[in-house]
Amino acid sequence: MKVGLQSVLNDANVDAAQAASQRQLSVSIAAIAEAMSRSIPLNLCLILDHSGSMGGRALDTVKQAAQRIVDRLSPGDRLTIVAFDHKAKLLVPNQVIDNPASVKLQINQLKAAGGTAIDEGLRLGIEELAKGKKETVSQAFLLTDGENEHGDNDRCLKLAKLATDYNLTLNTLGFSDSWNQDVLEKIADAGGGTLSFIQYPEQAVAEFDRLFSRMQSVGLTNAHLLLTLAPHVRLAEMKPIAQVAPDTIELTVQQEAGKYLVRLGDLMMDAPRVVLANLYIAKLLAGEQPIAQVQVRYDDPAAGKEGLLSEIVAVTANVLTPYQPAINADVQQHILALAKYRQTQIAETKLQQGDRTGAATMLQTAAKTALQMGDQGAATVLQANATKLQAGEELSEGDRKKTRIVSKTTLQ
Q: What is the DSSP letter of 231?
A: T
- Check whether 412 has a pLDDT greater than 60: no
Decide if pLDDT at 411 tops 70: no
Window from 64-68, 143-147, 399-403 with minimum mean pLDDT: 143-147
CATH of region 42-218: 3.40.50.410
Q: pLDDT band for 177, please (50, 70, 90 cuts).
A: very high
CA distance 222 to 137: 10
Sheet with 88-96, edge to edge strand ranges: 88-96, 78-84, 42-49, 137-144, 169-175, 192-198
Residue 284 CA, chain-centre distance (Å), reads 37
Residue that wins the pLDDT comparison between 391 and 35:
391
In this structure, the strands spanning 273-282 and 287-300 are unpaired
Residues forming beta bridges with residue 22, ordered by sequence position: 280
**Is the C-alpha dihedral spanning 99, 100, 104, 107 positive or negative?**
positive
Q: What is the mean pLDDT of the chain?
A: 95
- Least Cα distance to 223 among 276, 162, 127, 295 occurs for 295
| Structural element, H or E, at residue 89 | strand 88-96
Query: For residue 60, what pLDDT is reported?
Result: 96
pLDDT per position as a tens digit, 260-281: 999 999 999 989 999 999 999 9
The answer to whether 305 touches 326, Cβ cutoff 8 Å, is no
Q: Which whole number is the average pLDDT over 16-20?
A: 96
| 75 CB-near residues (< 8 Å, 6+ apart) | none
pLDDT of 179 above 90 = yes
Q: Residues of the chain with pLDDT > 90: what percent?
A: 94
Q: Which of 66, 89, 63 is nearest to 79 (CA)?
A: 66
